[in-house]
Structure 1
């Protein structure tokens, strides 16, 4: 319920709280509890939920959804608040329902709810939102399946070897899961493992007479296991944070900061991969905005930047998903069109030329200028040729387009061309 309240703000209403309370009450009554017992137990439940919710509700989404290094300490703080609130309910319920002491009731209820929070709440908070465009199932690789296999084997080892120390057999495998899997998957595996340890192993190694609210051994066991099982979740959060940071750095390193398309280094690397994997003709286009220096000289570099951004926007609308578009520097852009016939490539190039020249671009306040582009094309024809060689050929064709008057497309001609 805490997870739902935190993730679904629409549930934070009087009717939402009332529905939760009635659901808790109905669950106890349907399983044979008396009305008095159900009311006392679920009053403690609701107090626990309210305390944890009040502590966690104002956290930023990155922390709340376990996407930050500080998520687990805050999660533990909220869980502790919920556990302590439940403990106060146990102080009242334990003497009335079980004839025990208020002190033992506080300890038992506090630790039990703390264990529930740290075992279940990460699973709900880290759950991915439902998506209509969910990715299709992909068979896991051997390296991805290995941590789960290790967890299964370590669980079996604990069953066959036995002994109190067997409860720790799953910990290395869970830490490996935290390094490999998402926070949600790790939390799911940790939750299942945690409840298995706290149910099956308690029955074996703690005598049944010591499993009630007055059992210090049970309280200590649950507290120790709960805190121990936070480690894999913390490991998963840390690993996910590092992966996200590395992905962000890689994106920044590979994108042109102004136009947000591939920069020169990323373009050349990806282009080489496309040429290697191409089964047919691959076309390379070099594009240069005509008289771009005049825009910078007459209207300033801010106007030039605006033209570059609009140029990229228009070109991208003409491309296929598999085409590679990059900025090589200044007003010079390149395009790789894999597995494309000369006719199709010429049509794409012409579509780009028209998209640029058919509508003037805003360069200053209420000032529009007609912009044109010259394009040079070169084709690989399936032969072994590097991207650098194709770019040189396309560049020669680009100079030919400029020599011929600009705002046109030229195909590479092996005959010498005039440079200037």
Structure 2
């Protein structure tokens, strides 16, 4: 959870803050060394990832960065420049120019919603482009004063050079930083081999088409080969995650510029001036905005569809499956090959004397009892079991791969746990409720879910007739 800037600034500098700041400084130093070695002045393949990476690091932090983090970043710039023997004055001017754009970008992006920061809104890319243009313009303004002093040339050229360079790097790299998933959370969600996404032809085809379009460009040549990969990249944007699409567009930008500079991609044009080089770099990078925009819109669309699907299949009060959602999920689960020829059980559960709870304590108290019961049941089930509210105080559970003996144990566990559970119903009043459960078992999943529910419902009626707060088998 993000805390307010005022609250975070009041926290004393801890050992964690110092370690975190050192990490930021180390990343800035390593990225700067990489950029210096791969981007000598005047070379087409110039690539400076440091500023975009630093901005992404600052934005992805749980707490807003402290002054210590900015000082560590400045030190990383300085040490990298001094390592290349640029001297103190030149190193200081370059560090200030780099931090100018990063600070403006952070000031603007940090005030955007998390949805826009993660590029998950249909208009996120528009906001993103406006912000990176402002950040690049801030670096360009610093370049007006720094570039003529350090490299010669006019102030106008200094602005154009720094602006275009920063714009290219922000658009190419920053989307990857903003959409990168949390590695620890991702690994936690994919502990088992079965949790890993499988590879199917429809998932591999877009990437294969992208690789083929890059190869085709090297074979044909000519000025029109640069946009050859765009249809494949749009296909990737419709198929893959936003993070994967951002990585593909970054690869496209870097590969195209490197291929042109090395002669692998021949487009039949001369790039013997800095203006031509800057124009090419900006044009290639802006071309990558199309698949990024499509991917961003697709993320917003998919999240909206997921919310609509959840609302259609879940009970709004207890947040478990509703009748329709339970029946659909149960039918899908029963036809999975892993469960074929394995036993399956169904539980029908009805909260005892629920109407009396509503009449005595009000419907608000009844809602509390329902939600509490749903949580108690969830705590008693296994992973993979289905719980649904069929209506009123009636709930059902599907237990795949469960024998009759195990079904009785699970049902009794629910019965005992809910009997022990106390519900606060307002004004300091505590209420204990009970549940009656009927269970139905089948030797395999070939039995229709409706048949099993009917048998379990008959057992539930028997449990109520036998005194309630008990489990009966069909």
TM-score clears 0.5:
yes
Structure 2 counterparts to residues 322-401 of structure 1, below 5 A = 322-382=384-444, 384-401=446-463
Structure 2 counterparts to residues 130-279 of structure 1, below 5 A = 130-131=183-184, 133=188, 135=190, 137-202=196-261, 204=263, 205=268, 207=270, 209-210=272-273, 212=274, 215=275, 217-277=276-336, 278=339, 279=341
Contact 1:53–1:78, Cα closer than 8 Å, also in 2: no
Contact 2:335–2:445, Cα closer than 8 Å, also in 1: no
RMSD: 2.1
Q: Which residue number corresponds to residue 79 of structure 1? A: 132
In 1, Cα distance between equivalents of 2:426 and 2:95: 67
Following superposition, the deviation at residue 88 of structure 1 comes to 2.0
Structure 1's consecutive aligned runs of 4 or more residues displaced over 6 angstroms after TM superposition are none
The TM-score normalised by the length of structure 1 is: 0.90
Following superposition, the deviation at residue 329 of structure 1 comes to 0.5
Contact 2:271–2:277, Cα closer than 8 Å, also in 1: no
Structure 2 counterparts to residues 34-183 of structure 1, below 5 A = 35-131=88-184, 133=188, 135=190, 137-183=196-242
Q: Which residue number corresponds to residue 8 of structure 2? A: none
SS at match of 2:316: coil
1:310 aligned onto 2:372:
yes
Following superposition, the deviation at residue 50 of structure 1 comes to 2.0
In 1, Cα distance between equivalents of 2:311 and 2:197: 28
Contact 1:4–1:11, Cα closer than 8 Å, also in 2: no
Structure 2 counterparts to residues 10-49 of structure 1, below 5 A = 12-31=65-84, 33=86, 35-49=88-102
Following superposition, the deviation at residue 9 of structure 1 comes to 5.9
Following superposition, the deviation at residue 25 of structure 1 comes to 3.0
Contact 2:343–2:402, Cα closer than 8 Å, also in 1: yes
SS at match of 1:317: helix
In 2, Cα distance between equivalents of 1:331 and 1:370: 15
Q: Which residue number corresponds to residue 402 of structure 1? A: 464
- Name which of structure 1's ranges 170-179 and 24-33 shifts more when overlaid on structure 2: 24-33
Deviation string 1:374-408 (CA, Å, 9 cap, x unpaired) is 22222222273211111111111111222222222
Q: Which residue number corresponds to residue 30 of structure 2? A: none
Q: Which residue number corresponds to residue 416 of structure 1? A: none
Deviation string 1:302-321 (CA, Å, 9 cap, x unpaired) is 11111111122222222111
In 2, Cα distance between equivalents of 1:338 and 1:209: 69
SS at match of 1:366: coil
SS at match of 1:270: helix
Following superposition, the deviation at residue 161 of structure 1 comes to 0.8
Following superposition, the deviation at residue 209 of structure 1 comes to 3.0
Following superposition, the deviation at residue 106 of structure 1 comes to 1.5
In 2, Cα distance between equivalents of 1:401 and 1:134: 39
Number of residue-to-residue matches in the alignment: 408
In 1, Cα distance between equivalents of 2:269 and 2:85: 26
In 2, Cα distance between equivalents of 1:280 and 1:233: 46
Who wins on radius of gyration, i.e. which is larger?
1
In 2, Cα distance between equivalents of 1:276 and 1:195: 47
Following superposition, the deviation at residue 168 of structure 1 comes to 0.9
Q: Aligned to 1:291, which of 353, 356, 370?
A: 353
In 2, Cα distance between equivalents of 1:383 and 1:115: 57
- Name which of structure 1's ranges 246-255 and 35-44 shifts more when overlaid on structure 2: 35-44
SS at match of 1:375: strand
Following superposition, the deviation at residue 21 of structure 1 comes to 2.1
In 1, Cα distance between equivalents of 2:283 and 2:71: 34
In 2, Cα distance between equivalents of 1:365 and 1:99: 79
- Name which of structure 1's ranges 251-260 and 87-96 shifts more when overlaid on structure 2: 87-96
